[in-house]
Structure 1
Amino acid sequence: MQGSSKMPHTRNSSSLTSSTSYETPALSDLQQLLWLRGGSDNHVDQVWPNIYLGDAWAARSKTTLQSLNITHILNAADGPYSINTGAKYYADLQIEYYGVEAFDDPSFDLSTFFYDAANFIGKALNSPGGKVFVHCAMGVSRSATLVLAFLMIRENMTLVDALKAVSAHRNICPNSGFLSQLQDLDIKLNEERKGTRASAAKGL
């Protein structure tokens, strides 16, 4: 249960939908996109180079984390009422820990953590030998949403491309509220990209 045997996308893979005509799909279309994917149901899967997405079992299995050479952990279900591991739990592994006390509830505003989580994942990947494990209880909603946000913010991907990239390796299912928050992020980033392209065109 080390992870998917399929190789994750390379970082320089060109975005399929990052054209000037891209528009953020409706929530129902995004949900349909998730139903059609064929990822795995392992405890942990590599969904992007050096980004592993998984569940609470993998988070508590130090042998699994060691075998994957994990250097950073992002717990999207931190806190006494959830997966209460914390930095002390991993003290003997020299793992850098970041906890987000989020609830898998459509009314919970996870978007306030999007940029901090993306920065933590980006920092992990840029560190020597950096490998980051992002998890919640099941590894399908809270943690998946933060990985998707990272791909959109730091890898310049559209929400559609991010969903395709991750769900090709792991079956994910962000709740409707989280998908809606990712929609809002997608619209914002798309507008920023259009503005940047317009500025570049004026400068020519």
Structure 2
Amino acid sequence: MGLCHFATLALALLVLLEALTQVDTQKMVRVQCGVRLRACSSIRFLRLPALSRCLQPPQKQHQVCRDKQLEISSTKCPSEKTTAWARYPHRMDSLQEQNLRRPNIHGAVAVPSYQPPTLSSLQRLLWVRRATMLSHIDEVWPNLFLGDAYAARDKSKLMQLGITHVVNVAAGKFQVDTGDKFYRGMPLEYYGIEADDNPFFDLSVYFLPVARYIRTALSVPQGRVLVHCAMGVSRSATVVLAFLMIYEHMTLEEAIQTVQAHRAICPNSGFLRQLQVLDNRLGRETGRF
């Protein structure tokens, strides 16, 4: 009897332990399922509303973003700037490189001012750009002629060219002695200057008076002027250059190039320096400097 009772108790204990084991297992399953369900529900409640807000129309989307700023960066609604950056990164980079708030104001490109020519450059210009031929008389400007003593004494040539005014820059008994008596009976006017072809002779005192005379003569209907000296390359050429500078508003280089295109000229170094002074004075008055 004792052994049977002991066996019965042992069997009951085994059945009880098995039942307890099954209960624990079910509890663990329930706990795990509960955790999963809670995690899934939390994920559903955390993500689905954010996703639904992001899928809303743009106006509503921006309103939600302004009303509720989410702390989690992954759930923030993208702004217009972020969306544009994602779509067109190269365009945004190019815009950021530009200073759109304040335009870059660069200094105006400085126009180089007129540089007065040096004496050596003027002499080089006179020798390099010489006319191929040298004649007794040449028209160097409309109705303005430059010539030598031979042309000044050729009355028939003067009549043929229709010369109305003669400017003699080598007047005097021992130079080109023409004057009013020489042209008596001819329909022309005479203006004489006793100048020497000497670098130390001050020819500049005649620049303005001769230039005015030439201008007045050219303003006469059918007015044609001959300016001459002995060779027609130094004294007479100098006053013609001065006229072009004063009344035709040329620089010294421009005047030389204009005359050189029609006649070879060669003012001496003293006359060139005087023309440089005139060029500088006219440059200051006209604002070239």
- The TM-score with structure 1 as length reference comes to 0.85
Post-superposition CA distance 1:11-66 (Å, at most 9, x none): xxxxxxxx871121100000000111132300000000000000000000001101
CA contact (8 A) 1:20 1:194 kept: no
Q: Percent identity, please.
A: 56
User: Does the aligned pair in 2 maintain the 1:27–1:179 contact within 8 Å?
Assistant: yes
The structure 2 residue matched to 1:74, chosen from 151, 163, 167, is 167
Residue 128 of structure 2 is aligned to residue 36 of structure 1: yes
SS in 2 for 1:97: strand
One-letter identity of the residue aligned with 1:60:
R
Counterpart in 1 of 2:115? Answer: 23
Higher Cα radius of gyration: 2
Tell me how far apart the structure 1 counterparts of residues 267 and 112 of structure 2 sit (CA, whole Å): 27
Selected match of 1:160 from 253, 266, 269: 253
1:189 corresponds to 2:257? no
Which runs of structure 2 are paired with 1:62-141 in the superposition (5 Å)?
A: 62-141=155-234
Q: Is the 8 A contact 2:146 2:227 kept in 1?
A: yes
- Distance of 1:124 and 1:46 partners within structure 2: 15
Amino acid of the structure 1 residue aligned with 2:190: Y
Equivalent AA in structure 2 for residue 50 of structure 1: N
Kept after mapping to 1: 8 A contact 2:130/2:265: no
**Structure 1 contact 148–162 (Cα < 8 Å) conserved:** yes
Q: Distance in 2 between matches of 1:96 and 1:187?
A: 33
Structure 2: which amino acid aligns with 1:183?
Q
Distance in 2, matches of 1:64 and 1:143, equals 19
Q: Any idea what SS the aligned residue of 2:221 has?
A: coil
1:171 paired with 2:228, answer: no
- Segments of structure 1 that go 5 or more residues without pairing to the other structure are 1-18, 198-204
Q: Cα distance, 1:116 vs. partner?
A: 0.5
Find the residue that maps to 2:279 and give its secondary structure.
helix
Q: Whose relative contact order is higher, 1 or 2, with alpha carbons under 8 Å and at least 6 apart?
A: 1
Q: Deviations over 1:141-199 (max 9, x none)?
A: 0000000000000111100000000011000000000000000000000000018x9xx
Query: Are the structure 2 counterparts of residues 20 and 115 from structure 1 closer, same or farther at C-alpha, using a change threshold of 3 Å?
Result: farther
Equivalent residues of 2:237, 2:265 under 8 A apart = yes
> Does the alignment pair 1:51 with 2:138?
no
Q: Secondary structure at 1:174's aligned position in 2?
A: coil
Letter in 2 for 1:179: L
Q: C-alpha deviations, 1:120-147, integer Å up to 9, x for none? A: 1001100010000000000000000000
Matches of 1:88 and 1:155 in 2, distance apart?
Answer: 33
> How far apart, CA to CA, are the structure 1 residues paired with 2:130 and 2:173?
34
Q: Deviations over 1:73-113 (max 9, x none)?
A: 00000011110100121121121110010000000000000
Which ranges of structure 2 fall in alignment gaps of 5 or more residues?
1-110
CA RMSD of aligned residues (A): 1.3
What is the TM-score of this pair, normalised by structure 2? Answer: 0.60
Which structure shows the higher helix fraction?
2
Distance in structure 2 (CA, Å) of the matches to 1:190 and 1:38: 26
**What secondary structure is seen at the aligned counterpart in 2 of 1:128?**
coil
| Separation (CA, whole Å) in 2 of partners of 1:83 and 1:164 | 27
